[in-house]
Amino acid sequence: MKKWFPVVSGITAGFLAATVFFADFNVGSKTVAVDPAKKSNAEKVYVPFGEKDEYYLFASGGHSGQMFIYGVPSMRHIRTVPVFSQDSATGYGWDEHTKELMGGYTWGDLHHPAFSETNGDYDGKWMFATDVGNSRAAVMGLDSFTVRDIISVPNTSGPHCAAFVTENTEYIFLPTRFAVPLGSEYASLDEYSEKYRGVMSAVSFDETTEKLGVAWQVALPPWSYDLSDAGKGMSKDWAVLTTYNTEEATTNLEINASQADRDYIVLFNWKELEKMVADGQFDEVNGQKIIFPEKHKGSIYLIPVAKSPHGVDVTPDGKRFIASGKLAPAMTVFSFEKAFAAIGNKDFSGERNGIPVLNYESVMEREVNPENALGPLHTQFDDKGMAYTTMFISSEVVKWDPNTGETLDRVAVQYSPGHSVAAEGDTMSPDGKYLVALNKIAKDSYLSVGPSHPESMQLIDISGKMEVIQSAPVNPEPHYAQMIKADKIKTFTVYPKDENRPNSVWKQEDTRIERIGDEVHVYGIAMRSKFIFDAKSQRPDVIEVNEGDNVVLHLTNIDLDQDITHGFAINMHDINIEVQPGQTNTLKFKADKAGTYPLYCTNFCSALHQEMTGYLLVKPKQ
Ligand code: CUK
Ligand code: CUA
């Protein structure tokens, strides 16, 4: 097995031809799974008007840079929350606050959302996400579904192998997909093995200040780190990562990174690493505390695993971790207990880059290879501890027993599933009931919209024999999702009226326009159904400035009623912000075009919403 695709297509064709458990398919265009006419399935996903879904599904929006929120079981798309990308629906990325959050970037590649946890359970407070495109981390507050902080993570490149949080959200770990020299400084690829590094960042989050910060980092070998999971219960101080390209290839990775029969799982004890940092066992590079494993010894180990693994998932009881094959058609079950014993006995088969390699046989419990199942990627769990692994190539989800390796059930999905997500799936007590397959290629699933098809998310009832009961389009494909019990999330409806909030104005008579040199500061109000920028003016809804002025508009929405959001746009200025009930937002722009420009509320807010307009008048320079 040297290459992914030739092998895959050969085996796949044979596999498909031989398969009998797909009820209805042909090789050219597999038609499988959902029978929309089946009434019992329709009833299972029907949420009558006025009632709410049982779960929230948070699906990463990939290179849209956004997070998609769905309800389960209806699979209705409820909201798109902008995280790393501008979003004109909410004005995200135009007002000063969100512009600053975005840090000068206009997009991101959002992977692997992760809820905050308390005692190994989702606590419904925060959602973390990473940006593979521009090496950032973000946190969203679940009381308002808004981003509170975004940081650029120094010394890293593409934190794909993230985010995973520890049992009490002590850290959000961000290992990287790409190896680069620390600080991304120039180094010839001939010096790859000496100068390049894959860096894992331990990011902490302060709930009080709502700020993320890089606590410390580990300069791992120059490999790619793919997926990861944090330990639970007995393994709570530990975490695991998969690696590929341990060949340290610098070009044509498709072939060159698949040469060796084995790559590794990195196993590390973050509690001990934390202690090492406290004891001064680190080097400071680019302002960061970095552990170099070849020098600062201990707490990090390698476990050989079949070549180019993809996902690695810790069982809910924290006793095992399961690596999925990608190139090898098997799941490998490892035991934490065995790993700890091997570490204690120094049961090493050697070392790589100064990191001890544990004996595979000492740590491995079993290799599981369900018949004809190909391309295992990710595993989720139900309330009984049973595993559900997505098979990218054989386009199915396989249910199996991690205790015995026995295959229990399998269901076809349409088509190639990447991740799947189970209800409360990454907690110590998954709910069972539902699993959503996140399918990469959804040919023919929906009405055609041209050459590029929407991807699909398929809801699977796992309460009995697995059955696909709903399908929902999503674009682009989600790179993982998490599903949380709806009653865990407590949102607020109106931003509290805060007279001390800087630049806020709550009374019409306090609105004003002040000039300081060429800066014009507008302290305005948005309310049903008008803007008031200066109540004392003859025309309170007009902003008149001179060409070249810098305008700073502070706009407060004084409508403290649920769902009365106002927008603010200026014609032909590429400007668009939003103020939710009780919120104050600041907008800065240079009035560099002389002329007459209508301004208006973009968000429907009352029967007289169309009347909620005014003018920006920019007097030409003489
Ligand atoms: S990765 Cu495994 S299928 Cu970005 Cu989570 Cu996509
Ligand atoms: Cu305010 Cu429309």
Q: Whose CA is nearest to atom 1 of ligand 2?
A: 566
pLDDT confidence bin for 33, thresholds 50/70/90: low
Q: Which of 64, 109, 110, 111 to mutate to test the pocket of ligand 1 (most atoms within 8 A of CB)?
A: 111
β partners of residue 82: 66
Over 80: is that where the pLDDT of 10 sits? no
Q: Give the pLDDT score at 37.
A: 52
Q: Do residues 223 and 246 make contact, with C-beta atoms less than 8 angstroms apart?
A: yes
Least confident stretch, 30-34, 83-87, 196-200, 555-559: 30-34
Over residues 392-406, mean pLDDT: 97
Least confident stretch, 7-11, 113-117, 547-551, 578-582: 7-11
Q: Kindly give the number of the ligand 1 atom that is closest to the alpha carbon of 226.
A: 1
- Which ligand is located closest to the Cα atom of residue 376? 1
Q: Give the pLDDT score at 40.
A: 80
The rounded Å distance from CA 528 to ligand 2 centre is 7
The rounded Å distance from CA 317 to ligand 1 centre is 24
302-323 per-position pLDDT tens digit: 999 998 899 999 999 999 999 9
pLDDT confidence bin for 349, thresholds 50/70/90: very high
Over residues 500-519, mean pLDDT: 97
Q: 106: which residues sit within 8 A by CB, 6+ positions away?
A: 85, 86, 93
Q: Give the pLDDT score at 34.
A: 54
Distance between CA 396 and CA 455 in Å, rounded? 15
Work out whether strand 519-527 and strand 549-557 pair parallel, antiparallel, or are unpaired.
parallel
- Cα distances (angstroms) measured from residue 216 to each of 20, 54, 222, 597: 52, 38, 18, 50
Over 50: is that where the pLDDT of 11 sits? no
Using DSSP's 3-state secondary structure scheme, residue 587 falls into strand
| CB-based pocket (< 6 A), ligand 2 | 566, 601, 603-605, 609, 612
Q: Whose CA is nearest to atom 4 of ligand 1?
A: 479
Over 60: is that where the pLDDT of 14 sits? no
Query: 22 or 144: which carries more pLDDT confidence?
Result: 144
- Tokens for 621? 């320079």
Over residues 350-362, mean pLDDT: 96
Using DSSP's 3-state secondary structure scheme, residue 279 falls into coil
The rounded Å distance from CA 21 to ligand 1 centre is 26
Over 70: is that where the pLDDT of 128 sits? yes
Q: Do residues 437 and 463 make contact, with C-beta atoms less than 8 angstroms apart?
A: no
Over residues 357-369, mean pLDDT: 97
- Which ligand is located closest to the Cα atom of residue 608? 2
Over 90: is that where the pLDDT of 502 sits? yes
The rounded Å distance from CA 419 to ligand 1 centre is 6
The rounded Å distance from CA 588 to ligand 2 centre is 20
| CB-based pocket (< 6 A), ligand 1 | 111-112, 160, 227, 310-311, 377-378, 418-419, 479-480
Q: What's the whole-number average pLDDT of the chain?
A: 92
- Which ligand is located closest to the Cα atom of residue 531? 2
Over 80: is that where the pLDDT of 599 sits? yes
Q: Whose CA is nearest to atom 5 of ligand 1?
A: 479
Q: Kindly give the number of the ligand 1 atom that is closest to the alpha carbon of 418.
A: 3
Neighbours of 382 (CB within 10 A): 22
Q: What is the 3-state secondary structure (H, E, C) of 500-569?
A: CCCCCCCCHHHCEEEEECCEEEEEEEEECCEEECCCCCCCCCEEEEECCEEEEEEEEECCCCCCCCEEEE
Quote the DSSP letter at residue 609: G
Over 90: is that where the pLDDT of 63 sits? yes
pLDDT confidence bin for 38, thresholds 50/70/90: low
The rounded Å distance from CA 577 to ligand 1 centre is 33
Q: Give the pLDDT score at 256.
A: 85
Run of H or E including 97 = helix 96-102
Over residues 19-45, mean pLDDT: 53
Over 90: is that where the pLDDT of 35 sits? no
Q: Kindly give the number of the ligand 2 atom that is closest to the alpha carbon of 605.
A: 2
146-204 per-position pLDDT tens digit: 999 999 999 999 999 998 999 999 999 999 999 999 999 999 999 999 999 999 999 99
The rounded Å distance from CA 357 to ligand 1 centre is 26
The rounded Å distance from CA 567 to ligand 2 centre is 6
- Which ligand is located closest to the Cα atom of residue 525? 2
- Which ligand is located closest to the Cα atom of residue 177? 1
Q: Kindly give the number of the ligand 1 atom that is closest to the alpha carbon of 378.
A: 2
Q: Whose CA is nearest to atom 1 of ligand 1?
A: 479
Q: Kindly give the number of the ligand 1 atom that is closest to the alpha carbon of 377.
A: 2
Over 90: is that where the pLDDT of 41 sits? no
Q: Which of 171, 172, 169, 218 is nearest to 197 (CA)?
A: 218
Q: Whose CA is nearest to atom 3 of ligand 1?
A: 418
Q: Which of 310, 397, 436, 477 to mutate to test the pocket of ligand 1 (most atoms within 8 A of CB)?
A: 310
CB contact burial 427-438 (16+ within 10 A = b; e otherwise): bbebbbbbbbbb
Neighbours of 503 (CB within 10 A): 14
Q: Give the pLDDT score at 439.
A: 96
- Cα distances (angstroms) measured from residue 449 to each of 68, 76, 416: 20, 20, 20
- Which ligand is located closest to the Cα atom of residue 62? 1
Over 70: is that where the pLDDT of 125 sits? yes
- Which ligand is located closest to the Cα atom of residue 564? 2
Terminal C-alpha separation, the chain: 75
The rounded Å distance from CA 480 to ligand 1 centre is 7
